[in-house]
Amino acid sequence: MSADTGPASGDSAGLLNGLVSHGDSKTRRVYETARSLHSGAVKDLLSLGVCERCIFRLVAVEAFDSDISSVSTSTLHSWLKSGDDETGSSESSCSRICIVCLGILQFVFSDAKKELVKSDSSSDYVARITDLVKQDRHEFDSFGLEVSVPSTIMENERAVLSYLKGKYSTEGWLQRDKISVKDALKVLLLDQLKASLGAESDSSSFHIRLTYSKASDEAQGASETTHESKKRKTDAENGSNCISENSFEKYQVYEPCIFSVHCNKMPIFFSGRYFKYSRNVSQSRWIIDDERMGEASVEEILGGNILPACLGDSYKFHAAGREDIDVRMLGSGRPFLIEVQNSRQCPSEQSLKEVEEKINNSEKKLVGVKDLKCIGSQCWAMMREGEAEKQKQYVALVWISRPLEEKDFNSVSSLKELKILQKTPVRVLHRRSPLDREKIIHWLVKIYREFQILLTLKLLLFSNNSQSLWFQYSG
C-alpha cells in the first residue's frame, strides 16, 4: 500500500507558493496535510460521496483541528483531487451531499422553511448561527455548545470504515480512533463562535444547541429492510469486507438535514415572602371541571408579574407549605420561590422593587409580597431543608364555656414540650395517608378576654412527618 501513500497526483507547486507568499501558516499546514493523505483512500472516498472534511476525519485523524475551518469547502476539494482526471470527470463530490455526515460538515442544510442553505466556509456558517442566537435576546457572557445529529451518521460511517478496512487493512491511520461528526463540528466552529458572540465557552448555564434532523427516511437512503440495516451494522462493527463500492448507491443523500438553533438558559430563582389577604384566593391555580375555584391564585399573581421582567418562557411556583383557599396568610408571610425557565435577562434590584410595588399596590390587594430578590440555584436545597424542619405561627379565637381563673392560665402556661397525636384531617385524606402524626406544643402564652382567648400557634415540621406545635395565647 505504500506506493499509494503520499501527495495526491498533480503539480501543486503554484498553489503552495501562493500560500507561502501570503504567510498563512495555518492554511499551509492544512494544505500539506491534504497533500500527504493516502491518495488511494482519498480517491475512493471522493468516489463514494464522502465530503472533504469527513476525509480529514477518517484519514488524517490527528491532523483534524480548528485550522481546517480557515479553508473553504471548494479549496479543500481542489487540494484533495488536484490533477486526478478520473475523479474530476465524475460528478464533483463538492456539490454532492456527504453520505456520512449528511452535509453537516459541508455547512449545507435545510432551514425551517425547507429551503436549501449552503455556506462555503465556516465563517459564513458561524455568522448565520450568531444571528439566530442574537434573535433570541439572551444576556450571557459564556455559553456551552451542544450538537445533536441523526443516528444514521454512525451507521453510514461504520459502513464506510468497513469498506476501507477491506482495502487498506494494514494502514496505521485506519486503526486510530476517529473524531465524531459532532466533535468535529465543535472543533470547526467553537473558536469562531466565541469571537463572534464575545463570550467564553465553558460549562455555562446558557446553552446553544445545534440540532440536525433527518429530512426523510428516503432522503437518507434508508429504504433497506430492517434485516438489511441490522446486518450492515453488524458487518461494519466486525470489520467484515462484505460492502462493495456498488452497494453505496443506496447510501446516496438527496436532501441535507433540517437545521435549527435552540438557546436555553438554566432556571433562575426568585425568593421572597407572600401575604394572602383574601379568603377567596387559592395558593396555586385551581380548576375543577373547567371551572376556576376562587378569584385568583398566589401563583398566578406572583409568577405573572415576575415572568415578564425576565423575558422567560414559563415559571414554576414553590412554597414552604400551603394554606387553604379560605385561610389568610398574615404575620411575616410565607416563604416562596419562583423558578423561571429560559430567562433572557436577570432583572435588576430596582426592577424587582418595581415588581413588588406593582403587586402590593394593585387595586384589589389580594396578595402582597416582600423581600423579593434573585438568588442562586442552591436556594432550592435550602428550601427543601426548610420544609423538612419549619416553624409556623397560627392565631385562633377560642370560646370557653366558663369564665377562666388565674390558676387556669397558670396551668395552661406551665405546659412545656407537650406531645399530642393528630389524625389526618378528613379534608386531606384524598392525598395523605390516614395516620396519627406526633406533634409537640412547646409553650403557650395567654391574652385574655372573658369567655374568649386568642390563640397563636407555631408549627414545626420534621422530615419524618412528625410535627411540633407552638401555642401562644394572645388577645
Which positions are annotated as active-site residues?
324
Q: At a CB cut-off of 8 Å and minimum separation 6, what does 2 contact?
A: none
**Of 88, 81, 71, 91, which is closest to residue 42 (Cα–Cα)?**
81
Give CB contacts under 8 A, 24+ apart, made by 10-13. 10/82, 10/83, 10/84, 11/83, 12/79, 12/82, 12/83
Instruction: Give 117's strand partners.
Output: 109
Cα–Cα distance measured from residue 417 to residue 414, given in angstroms and rounded to the nearest whole number: 10
Give every CB contact of residue 10 below 8 A, 6+ residues apart in sequence. Answer: 82, 83, 84
Q: What is the DSSP letter of 410?
A: H
**What is the rounded CA–CA span in Å between residue 263 and residue 368?**
34
Q: Which of 197, 207, 70, 192 is nearest to 148 (CA)?
A: 207
- Type of residue found at 247: S
Q: Distance between CA 117 and CA 132 in Å, rounded?
A: 14
Buried b (16+ CB within 10 A) or exposed e, 226-258: eeeeeebeebbeeeeeebeeeebeebebebbbb
